[in-house]
Each structure stands twice: as C-alpha cells, then as structure tokens.
Amino acid sequence: MTDPTRLLWREAAQEQMHAATLAELRGRHGTDQVSFNYRWEHVTAVVALALRLAELTGADAETVEAAAWLHDVCKFSHGEQHPQAGAAFARDFLPTTDFPPDKIEAVAAAVADHMGLWRDEPLTVLESQVLWDADKLAKIGLTAVFHWTGGALAGHKMHTLERLIHRARANDWLPRTVASMHTPPARRAAAARLVAFQQLYAALERELTGDDLI
C-alpha cells in the first residue's frame, strides 16, 4: 500500500530540479526572470531521451527517469563534484517520496556515474550507461545549438553571431563524446546529431560570408 504521507516522486523530483535551476539563474544573472532557462531545458531533454533509451535497451525506466531528473540537481552548487553530490542528494531525498526503496541505490549510482564529456573506460551498468548517453546526446546536435544559443542570450552579455559560432566551434570534444556512447541507439543518433551540428554551422558561415553566392 502507498504511504499517503510520502510525496509523489516524479513531481517532487521535478520540483527539486526546477528550484535548483532557478537558484542557478539567480546565481548567474542576479535574477531568475530570464528569457531562457538552459538547465531546465537540458534536464527535460535528458529525461525524454533517457526514457526512450530505456524502452529501446531494456533499462529500468523508473531508475533512469529519477536519475535523469536529479542528475544535475547539484550542478551549480557543487560544480565538478556535482555527480557525487547529486548521488548523495538522491539517497537523502528519494526515501521521502514513494519511489521504490530498492531502486534508490541504482539511481544514486547512475547520477554519480554521469561525469565527463567523454569516457576512456565505458560504464558497465545499463542504467548508468543510459543516463550518460542521454545526458551527452542532449549536448550534441541541433538541441545543443538551440540550448547554447538560448543560454547565451539569456544573460546580459552582448553576443554577436560570430562569437556564438566561435563558441560552438570551440567544442572540439564532440567527436570523442560520440565515440564514448554506450548503447547502439545512442551511438547512431549521436553520429547523426554531430553531422547536423557541423552542417548547421557550416551553412550559417556560408550565409554570413556570402560563400553561398555563385
């Protein structure tokens, strides 16, 4: 029987994450009233991708969904240490909800494992692989183009298209991220997303320089 005093885990996890994104906005911009909440967009994209990957790979959907909602909950507060801090958060927070207690450790492990834009050693646990792949897929492709552009324009700094293109091009780690994907569907999608990303910026540059005029 469900304990009525416990929070519904999905709504509660979303609330925690949303509050963390607002705190990040206030920390970065002095206000949470900005035009684009990059972190929230990122996390909701990761949740959707993690659930699709769970379906395709047989990973446990509840585990990867909870891990996806919480994986960056400590991103702004703990920086580089946020996977470990997020895992500790999950261990403390999920028992206050109706989330299945026997899956909490798997959630914490997946959150702790999501570090790094590429990996020399692949992860071995399916749920950790799915979260890692979903998180990195959201940083490649057209999603990244719009997320990064939206994030940059949400601040008070003046941007030029040239600067945005330069920043996107500086992400020379993307091929290594594609090569580090664990699950076959993510590996295929990552390769296609990288091509779309590169083609978009190449086409934009041709337009801006007039190289498309013949």
Burial of 21 (0-12, 13-18, 19+ CB in 10 A): buried
CA atoms within 13 A on the CB side of 158: 0
Count the residues of the shown chain that bind Fe ion, applying the rule CB under 5 A. 2
Quickly tell me which residue has 């990122």 as its tokens: 42
Residue 60 in contact with Fe ion, rule: CB under 5 A: no
Query: Among 4-12, 88-96, 129-137, 163-171, which window interacts with Fe ion (CB under 5 A)?
Result: 129-137
Yes or no: say if 18 and 39 are a contact pair by the CB < 8 Å rule: no
Residue 135 in contact with Fe ion, rule: CB under 5 A: yes
Which residue stretches of 35-173 are H helix?
Answer: 38-57, 61-70, 75-78, 82-93, 104-112, 126-137, 142-154, 161-169
Q: How far is the CB of 36 from Fe ion (least distance, A)?
A: 16
Q: How far is the CB of 5 from Fe ion (least distance, A)?
A: 31
CB closer to Fe ion, 48 vs 165: 48
Binding mask 64-93 toward Fe ion (x if CB under 5 A, else -) reads --------x---------------------
CB closer to Fe ion, 17 vs 34: 17
CB closer to Fe ion, 100 vs 150: 150
CB closer to Fe ion, 60 vs 135: 135
Distances (CA, A) of 158 to 31, 83, 155: 17, 32, 8
Q: How far is the CB of 146 from Fe ion (least distance, A)?
A: 16
CA distance 197 to 150: 15
Q: How far is the CB of 208 from Fe ion (least distance, A)?
A: 31
CB closer to Fe ion, 194 vs 204: 194
Which residues of this protein are in contact with Fe ion, per CB under 5 A?
72, 135
